Structure 1
């Protein structure tokens, strides 16, 4: 099965904060904005331009979202949506591209180091997937 991906132009960062940390004011919303908290850390994914140099982070990343075929993903395994990430991550592994993956209710997001974004696109296209620029939300 082939998939469509949307490439976002904004540089993204993954920031590590301490457990139970407040979300800082600089962590503004961007193409993708995510907060994941566990007992040992809080991770924030946000626009790289917003992150202070002293913050512990990795950047820049380019974000790709999987474009759902019909609205949002269906968690019912009988709907045939199993294996999406496996199909999209295997070509990147073969190409030596590192990833940071997020999932939302509607879709999956694959972040790759900005310097490898074109390499990721090429690997996906060779595997039969389609990549296009993200359509701005108005």
Structure 2
């Protein structure tokens, strides 16, 4: 499977808020963001420059967008990206939407990730 991916501009952050917290307005701005709630936490992924200083967060993520949309019956899409990164020792944070997937890697690993994905037959724009 050959895929095309794009690098989204900017630095991203993943933040943790309490399970009873409301989704914060600062997390719902920019080109790409997502908020997820479980019984244990509220997680927010957004541009790093939007996160207030007093929020538990991990900054330094670069975002890669897989060019979709992909049918739900299509198998192996995300695995075709994640497995080469895993084999190269590059950790990821993945997010799926209705149409496509996003894979985040540490900014310092972005160049290596692009190289590894190219070697796996993917095109990174």
Per the normalisation by structure 1, the TM-score is 0.86
Q: Aligned pair 1:37/2:37, yes or no?
A: yes
| Unaligned ranges ≥5, structure 2 | none
Structure 1 vs Structure 2 CA RMSD: 1.1
Residue 107 of structure 2 corresponds to: 114
Contact 1:62/1:112 (<8 A) preserved: yes
Per the normalisation by structure 2, the TM-score is 0.95
| Unaligned ranges ≥5, structure 1 | 133-138
SS in 2 for 1:35: strand
SS in 2 for 1:63: strand
Contact 1:19/1:40 (<8 A) preserved: yes
User: Match for 2:70 among 67, 70, 73?
Assistant: 73
- Measured in 2, the distance between the counterparts of 1:30 and 1:82 equals 30
Displacement after TM superposition at 1:125 (Å): 0.3
- Bigger CA drift: 103-112 or 29-38? 29-38
- Measured in 1, the distance between the counterparts of 2:58 and 2:119 equals 28
- Measured in 2, the distance between the counterparts of 1:90 and 1:27 equals 29
Residue 89 of structure 2 corresponds to: 96
After TM superposition, where is structure 1 displaced by more than 4 Å over at least 4 residues in a row?
none
Residue 53 of structure 1 corresponds to: 53
Contact 2:18/2:41 (<8 A) preserved: yes
